[in-house]
Chain A
Amino acid sequence: MLSETLTSIFNKLPAKSVHAHCDGPCGVYDPASARVAAEAVLSMTKKLIALAPAGNDQASISAYNNTFSRFVAIKEEESQKAKKELLILWTDYFKPEHLATYPDLHDTFWKAAKLCSACKVNIDQTKAEELLAAVQKIHSMFWSSKGRSDNWVTAS
């Protein structure tokens, strides 16, 4: 009886967590997440560049401001998402032994992450296209490291 009570108390005792931790126990990685985000960044950048008020009246200006703000918010969110997905691949999937096959791996990821930041703070189609190209290069590195086909198919 006492033993059962103590066991119950120990099981419910409030305690701070200590992590027997694993960042990626599933081992599932795919550059597709970064690709979709980078495509969205390019798409939103193009839409922002093409966006213009329908007229000079207050309603048109308000509608323009509203749409512009929404496009910027999505562009920034997707840029951040692309960066996060790339950093996961860089730090969790790729291992030191991959450097022998891809000596420019660090440089490629570093530049791609920088492009994410540039796309987030600017409306720059060239940078957005460079980001998508960088993601394509990472896509090729990733799938060739697995010995798999690296067909590049975009959603847009």
Chain B
Amino acid sequence: MITGLQQADKSLFHKPDLFTLFTLIIGYRQHLRVVGTSMERTLKEGDLVTYKKLNKRNIDLEIGDIVVAFHPKTKNKLLIKRIHRIYQNKFDLRGDNSLASTDSREFGLIELDLIIGKVDKIFSK
């Protein structure tokens, strides 16, 4: 866990609600199911997350944000990691559970166009 981010994380956690369910069903909101342990203690296997898609008018990424990105080496595989550092529009993505995470320490910095969204809600299993 990156120091100082606990408060920001708390605001992401939500209880299931009818409005979110409706937005998921009609496809207004994107959702994904977490697989793996590299984001523990924040995200556990089976948690549901929703995310805002990035577009040209909505590139508002900051250190500490949890993002969904395409794996740089495996086609069509989606990763969920936290922005650890930003270097000249390239992103150092890390798992909160650094002992069990394959991230920018191994596959290097991620280009912006590989990041498809920013997690805005977490629904713990």
A residues touching B (Cβ–Cβ < 8 Å)?
2-3, 6-7, 9-11, 13, 15-25, 91-92
Contact = CB atoms under 8 A, between A and B. Distances in A.
Interface in B102-125: 102, 106, 123, 125
A11 B106 CA distance: 32
26 contacts: A3-B15, A6-B17, A10-B16, A13-B24, A15-B31, A15-B32, A16-B32, A16-B33, A16-B78, A17-B34, A18-B32, A18-B34, A18-B78, A18-B79, A19-B79, A20-B38, A20-B45, A20-B79, A20-B81, A20-B101, A21-B38, A21-B101, A22-B38, A22-B101, A25-B38, A25-B99
B100 to A, nearest CB: 4
A22 B36 contact: yes
Given A10-B123, A11-B46, A15-B31, A20 B37 contact: yes
B39 A20 contact: yes
- What band does the interface of chain B fall in when counting residues whose beta carbon is under 8 Å from A? 35 or more
Given A6-B17, A6-B18, A13-B31, A22 B102 contact: yes
A126 to B, nearest CB: 34
B36 A21 contact: yes
Contacts of A18: 32-35, 49, 68, 78-80
A21 B37 CA distance: 7
Contacts of B24: 13
A11 B48 CA distance: 7
B63 interface: no
Contacts of B31: 13, 15
Interface string B80-93: 11000000000000
Contact of B43 (A16, A20, A25): A20
A85 B10 CA distance: 42
Contact of B33 (A15, A21, A24, A25): A15
A22 B125 contact: no
B17 A20 contact: no
Contact of B79 (A3, A10, A21): A21
